[in-house]
């Protein structure tokens, strides 16, 4: 959330903006560190093949959150 707050502060400091809401979503970008690029690639493949399992686990943590997509 801090990054959103910084962005809003910057927009406000430069005079503001006019916006239109086209969607309602919250994005989070966790960071995973691997020993090499191949390990990162293998993890991305696992994520692609495990989306439903990840969705079940993620949605079990909230009564309202919905996992719409993952972009590794």
Residue 38 lies in a domain: yes
- Find the Cα–Cα–Cα–Cα dihedral 13, 17, 22, 27, rounded to 10°: -10
Q: How confident is the model at residue 1 (pLDDT cuts 50, 70, 90)?
A: confident
Tell me the per-residue pLDDT of 8-65, one tens digit each, with 9 for 90 and over. Answer: 999 999 999 998 888 877 777 788 999 999 999 999 999 999 999 999 999 999 999 8
How many structural domains does the chain have? Answer: 1
Q: State in Å, rounded, how far the first CA of the chain is from the last one.
A: 21
User: Could you tell me if residue 16 is inside a domain?
Assistant: no
Domain that holds residue 52: 24-72
Cα–Cα distance measured from residue 32 to residue 34, given in angstroms and rounded to the nearest whole number = 7
The pLDDT value given to residue 29: 78
Whether residue 4 lies inside any domain: the answer is no
33 within some domain: yes
Determine, yes or no, domain membership for 15.
no
């Amino acid at each position: 959330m801090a990054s959103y707050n910084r962005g809003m502060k910057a927009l406000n400091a430069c005079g503001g903006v006019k916006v239109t809401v086209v969607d309602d979503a919250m994005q989070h970008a966790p960071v995973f560190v691997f020993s090499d690029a191949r390990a990162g690639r293998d993890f991305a493949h696992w994520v692609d093949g495990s989306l439903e399992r990840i969705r079940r686990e993620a949605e079990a943590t909230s009564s309202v959150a919905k996992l719409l997509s993952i972009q590794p």
